[in-house]
Structure 1
Amino acid sequence: MKNIFLIMIIIMFTSFTSSYAQKKGCLLCHEGIGVINEKMQPFLLSFAQQLYGGAKGYECSVCHEGNPSGETKKEAHKGLINNPSSMWILHEGKGCAKCHDTKNSIRTIMGRRLKQPKGGELLSIKVTSSDPSGSTGIDYTYRMARALMSLETGKANKILSSNGVIKKGTFPYANFHMDDPDGNVPVAGSEAYKRWVLKAINAGFLKRLDHVEEIPDFQKGAIKFKSEEKAGFADIHRKQCGRCHVWSEGRDKRGDLRASGCAACHILYSNNGTYEGNDRAIKESIEKGELKRPLPIKHEITKAIPAAQCTHCHTRGKRIGTTYMGMFEYDYVKDGKAPPFNIKGEPQKPLFIKEYMYVREDVHAKRGMECVDCHTSIEVHGDGNIYPTTYYQVEVSCYDCHGTPDKYPWELPVGYGTPVTLKGVRGTFKDGENEYLLTSKGNVKSNWRRRGGEAYIISSYTGKKHIIPLLKNIKLRDSFKTKQAEVAMVKIDNHMKTMECYSCHASWAPQCFGCHIEYDRRVRGVDWIKTSKNINRVTGRQKIVKTEGNIAIENRSFLRWESPILGVNLKGKVSPLIPGCQVFYT
């Protein structure tokens, strides 16, 4: 009798546990994790009900899949996708691609045709948060795969052309094989933007590539270039320059920590990879020492992205991220002895494996603005075309917000500041009571607003309203801060016609004259392109791949930050020039 009673209790407890697990879903273990995104949550709950018959606690599986009714970790995590934004996952039509891509818009991966087109399984949403017209809020996977943040086309080819491996001005290589099968007209962007791109390509100002090949590793390069020395330059790109792209995770070093895919930007990491969320399972794993890898600050997708997130990548080459924040890569030899020192007289901890000194932040940063307040979806995600360098993919300019002394931004034509313009004024985009400014290439920016003869920016990160100094108003009101400013912008007309604004307003720039790099075949280094392809299907994480050949020594000949040199850019305008990597190789 006692045995029967005990069995009944066990059955009842098991039934209760099973019922409780099914009711709680993922929250049975991950209580306190927090909603991934407030705007996405209603959609996720609706899909969770349709797909899994549950709501709160089941919505995780819309993106991460797995089994939300599982009663054990093993059951619940079967088929789990750790990073639903991974570029590899997106090309399976899973994760973010279920909603953020048009139905069947994903047809190739790295130039190879998929057996079945993917994308838009649940929804083909037009994102309007950064562009209220929705014209730049579509087909993210297709675009991102061809964008510079994926291919790094400029870097891959410049290291070769500047060292005589390929002809200057040609761009045959990138991080990966990629094609652009749909021609010159971009996938995303306003009609004005598409007209401008087509006109600029036909005029020879804008360059677009039909396809690119993966930059060869040392063995393939030695055969292709018929020289081991030339193959070494390609290998240096794979070991050093080809690290910061969205197919790969960040390097496991302070400051370089990030996820891959969409999460590379939209899931925030601190420089130390410290978790600050309330997920009970994660916190317990950390306390037990079971989870030692870097983690995001919390489980949240956001478009409120601080510059500190951008600097997980944008610290080398142009060094634009660190420069914006006022940081100058300083020490001649990386030895842990560079100032500034802390209160105890100890040297700073390496950041991005480098050492820095503070000079002066950008004027926009000083006023509390972040990179995302100006830069656009197309500049980050691309427009579907393959462009050779950042110069061709960047679409914003100073005129977009500040105008000129004679014209408001909305009175300028699309393409102003380049040799190619469209007829008429660019105007604004109106949506209800709101009136939005356009970029120089004709796309809408949601946080750039106009009200009458005034304009302002609402920070995408802080929500703060920044009044834009309009040059036309300054001229009309005779409110120049200095006489020199009036002379430069009004009295000498050629300044505005032939010079970029930042030729004067960029008070400093990092200048590295003569880096010395010793490349040694006896030293093994991480091949970041092979590593990004070496994905553990269970954990979803990349596994490091090391091959022969790497930099054995790196030091500098001369560093300076003041009085950057001036030259003529591709627009034909005078601009500061940054000798980012003038390298001597041995």
Structure 2
Amino acid sequence: MEVWDKVNVKNEDFFQSLHSRYGCVACHGGTPDVTLKDEAHEGLVHDPSAGQACATCHVEIAETHENSLHKDQEGYLTVLRARSDEAHWDQLMVGYEIHCTSCHATCGQCHVSRPAFLEGGLSSGHQFKETPLMNISCTGCHGSRIQDEYKGKNEGVKGDVHWIKYGLPCFDCHTGAEMHGMNGDRNHRYDGPQEPGCTDPDCHEGIGGPKDEQAQHDETHLTLMSCETCHAQPYKNCYNCHVQKDEHGVPYFKTDESELAVKIGFNPRQSPERPWEYVVLRHVPVARDTFSYYGENLLPNFDALPTWVYATPHNTAAKTPQNASCNACHGNAEFFLTADDVRPDELEANKDVIVTEMQY
């Protein structure tokens, strides 16, 4: 997007909208009643929603959004606290602030402009979108993994049945209440009730019921394993992320090549809301020395959490290789996370999720 086009208020619908009635200065500040650009832009606020501009009218949403995972990124911080300690925290946060906060989202970055991760720019000529644009706001940030899975962009893997058959956009499952943090405080995206859940009203309510003709939807399978265990297709697993700066001081990161695979293991987040013994696990790219550019041993408690983590891949299908038959899964090590799948340096971290031969 050209620089001038990022700020071009070109959508006529905006000038007929409620938000346009307040004028530019009400939200963006600056100096009114002058004709020179530099004078007009003195005190300009590029993203008013990063402050409290939206809270003037949208009081409840703005209040809960302050503690939403989109806003405060508490999910990242929760796992970093577990892997680090107080002595290394300040050094770790230097690297975190430089490399890991671009995913933080303000109201405007969903409803008015492209996310900062995409270098900003008005998404629809300053028109306010009550429902964000999926292909800009949602997949602009959640692209390389979720979009590629959901839309079938990974080579040899079909898109999610909810997309290729029904065309469901993100917000049909992920509601505004979830995005705005209105369903209670969360320290991690898998805290609390499932949002969304497969058996939510108007979804798959009849699973395991008297009219369900699928033999494998019996009490044993539904109690022992998550839906994705049978219905996930190969998904992306990432490895060995390292962050640093180049010789010009420009931050960057690099990872090893990702791999597509389905790996079933023991549930590391077992709870009343996620009671299953078996779930699919995704490898996250954190390494012991991910932040070593900013100091030595900044993750001294690296083994406190697994690197193969609870996952809900966005590429479900009714028929998958692991549910093709009973023997396709039972006794087939290909689909289970065994010690052979885990890097030697990560065996201790993953000891509680690895499945042994006697257990599958």
Q: TM-score when scaled to structure 2?
A: 0.62
Residue in structure 2 matching 1:488, options 207, 210, 216: 216
Deviation at 1:263, TM superposition (A): 1.5
Alignment of 1:49-198 (within 5 A): 59-60=23-24, 62-64=26-28, 70=33, 72-73=35-36, 81-85=45-49, 87-88=50-51, 90=52, 95-101=53-59, 139-162=60-83, 165-166=84-85
Structure 2: how far apart are the matches of 1:232 and 1:520?
15
Structure 2: how far apart are the matches of 1:71 and 1:522?
42
Residue in structure 1 matching 2:242, options 490, 500, 517: 517
Residue in structure 2 matching 1:312, options 124, 140, 151: 140
Cα pair 2:102 2:116 within 8 Å, conserved: no
Match of 1:302 in 2: 129
C-alpha root-mean-square deviation of aligned residues, in Å? 3.9
Residue type of the partner of 1:405? G
| Structure 2 residue 97 is the aligned partner of structure 1 residue 238 | yes
Structure 2: how far apart are the matches of 1:369 and 1:384?
22
Structure 2: how far apart are the matches of 1:359 and 1:517?
28
Q: Which has the larger radius of gyration?
A: 1
Structure 2: how far apart are the matches of 1:494 and 1:37?
58
Deviation at 1:66, TM superposition (A): 5.7
Structure 1: how far apart are the matches of 2:80 and 2:170?
27
Residue type of the partner of 2:199? Y
Q: Deviations over 1:252-276 (max 9, x none)?
A: xxxxxxxxx21111125499979xx
Q: What is the percentage of aligned positions where both structures have the same residue?
A: 23
Deviation at 1:37, TM superposition (A): 8.4
| Structure 2 residue 255 is the aligned partner of structure 1 residue 555 | yes
Residue in structure 2 matching 1:583, options 275, 284, 287: 287
Match of 1:398 in 2: 198
Cα pair 2:109 2:115 within 8 Å, conserved: no
Deviation at 1:498, TM superposition (A): 3.0
CA gap 1:158/1:270 in 2 versus in 1, 3 angstroms: closer
| Structure 2 residue 158 is the aligned partner of structure 1 residue 360 | yes
Q: As a proportion of its length, which structure holds more helix?
A: 2
Structure 1: how far apart are the matches of 2:9 and 2:75?
45
Structure 2: how far apart are the matches of 1:96 and 1:240?
27
Count of paired positions: 273
Structure 2: how far apart are the matches of 1:269 and 1:83?
11
Cα pair 2:68 2:180 within 8 Å, conserved: yes
- Give the secondary-structure state (helix, strand or coil) at the position aligned to 1:154: helix
Runs of 4+ in structure 1 off by over 6 angstroms are 270-274, 520-523
Deviation at 1:60, TM superposition (A): 4.8
CA gap 1:232/1:403 in 2 versus in 1, 3 angstroms: same
Tell me, which stretches of 5 or more residues in structure 2 are unaligned? Answer: 1-7, 293-360
Cα pair 1:324 1:365 within 8 Å, conserved: yes
Q: Deviations over 1:286-335 (max 9, x none)?
A: xxxxxxx844342211133343221222247xx3344323344xxxxxxx
Structure 1: how far apart are the matches of 2:12 and 2:43?
22
Alignment of 1:500-579 (within 5 A): 500-512=226-238, 514-515=239-240, 517=242, 524-526=249-251, 554-556=254-256, 559-568=258-267, 569-570=269-270, 571-573=274-276, 574-579=278-283
Alignment of 1:177-576 (within 5 A): 225=87, 233-246=92-105, 261-269=106-114, 294-308=121-135, 309-315=137-143, 319-328=145-154, 359-366=157-164, 367-383=166-182, 386-392=185-191, 395-400=195-200, 401-405=202-206, 476=211, 486-489=214-217, 492-512=218-238, 514-515=239-240, 517=242, 524-526=249-251, 554-556=254-256, 559-568=258-267, 569-570=269-270, 571-573=274-276, 574-576=278-280
CA gap 1:516/1:502 in 2 versus in 1, 3 angstroms: closer
Q: Deviations over 1:387-432 (max 9, x none)?
A: 21111265320110334437xxxxxxxxxxxxxxxxxxxxxxxxxx
Deviation at 1:33, TM superposition (A): 3.8
Structure 1: how far apart are the matches of 2:47 and 2:246?
35
Residue type of the partner of 1:326? G
Structure 2: how far apart are the matches of 1:31 and 1:310?
22
Structure 2: how far apart are the matches of 1:584 and 1:306?
37
CA gap 1:233/1:359 in 2 versus in 1, 3 angstroms: farther
Q: TM-score when scaled to structure 1?
A: 0.40
Residue type of the partner of 2:123? P
Q: Deviations over 1:330-365 (max 9, x none)?
A: xxxxxxxxxxxxxxxxxxxxxxxxxxx573322212
Structure 2: how far apart are the matches of 1:322 and 1:372?
17
CA gap 1:232/1:314 in 2 versus in 1, 3 angstroms: farther
Q: Deviations over 1:522-557 (max 9, x none)?
A: 88355xxxxxxxxxxxxxxxxxxxxxxx75xx331x
Cα pair 2:178 2:195 within 8 Å, conserved: yes
Cα pair 2:237 2:259 within 8 Å, conserved: yes
CA gap 1:303/1:359 in 2 versus in 1, 3 angstroms: farther
CA gap 1:562/1:273 in 2 versus in 1, 3 angstroms: closer
Cα pair 1:314 1:320 within 8 Å, conserved: yes
Match of 2:312 in 1: none
Structure 2: how far apart are the matches of 1:560 and 1:66?
49
Residue type of the partner of 1:235? V
Structure 1: how far apart are the matches of 2:216 and 2:233?
16
Structure 1: how far apart are the matches of 2:184 and 2:157?
37
